[in-house]
Amino acid sequence: MPRADRTLRRVSYCEGMSQNLGHPSHIGNLDAAQLGPQPTYLPDDHPDVDAKRRLDAGDEPIDVASVLPSSSLAWAELSDEAFDEGRTVDSYAYARVGYHRGLDALRGAGWRGAGPIPWTHEINRGFLRSLYALGRAAASIGESEEAARVEKFLNDSDPTAMEQIAGHRG
């Protein structure tokens, strides 16, 4: 069969399809929310809001963490201080607390274990910074598998976060 005939046959097969696929976000009866996890935004009353205000006013991170132990931001700050002072195990411990406090808050905000956690939402930054600090500290104490998992989680949460955090620290 000549090539032109095969092409015509394919065209006629496609033309015989009765379903209009339309826009990909409306395949079948799906809406955009069913195509993947939606971004999670920590609420405006999250402890990181007050923690940021206190830290910006000059309060010490240890004091902020003592008053607001649910603040991932306070624990991220403590982790950064410890890391900068060469106390990598302390940095790891502080980051792990901030990470777990953040997971609790994200779950409370509807997060189901996957999906975007945007850096652009300022209240999410304490968690993302704790996650970054956890990976950095894990790598520094030889926990390379954990560091790789954390890096993947951070990139899956927001592909721009690592660069943003590194720039913040630089």
Confidence of residue 7 (pLDDT cuts 50, 70, 90): very low
Q: Give the tokens for residue 90.
A: 């302390």
pLDDT digits (tens, 9 = 90+) for 54-83: 999 999 999 999 999 999 999 999 999 999
Q: What percent of the chain has pLDDT over 90?
A: 75
Higher pLDDT, 6 or 155: 155
For each of the domains in the chain, give its residue range(s) and CATH number, in order of start. 72-169 (1.25.40)
Of 13, 15, 35, which is closest to residue 24 (Cα–Cα)? 35
**Residue 9 pLDDT > 80, yes or no?**
no
Rounded average pLDDT over 137-165: 98
Q: Give the tokens for residue 140.
A: 């520094």
Confidence of residue 14 (pLDDT cuts 50, 70, 90): very low
Q: Give the tokens for residue 112.
A: 């189901």
pLDDT at 36: 82
Task: Quote the pTM value.
Answer: 0.80
pLDDT at 21: 42
Contact, 42 vs 105, CB < 8 A?
yes
pLDDT digits (tens, 9 = 90+) for 89-115: 999 999 999 999 999 999 999 999 999
**Residue 12 pLDDT > 60, yes or no?**
no
pLDDT at 30: 58
> Is the alpha carbon torsion for 96, 99, 101, 104 positive or negative?
negative
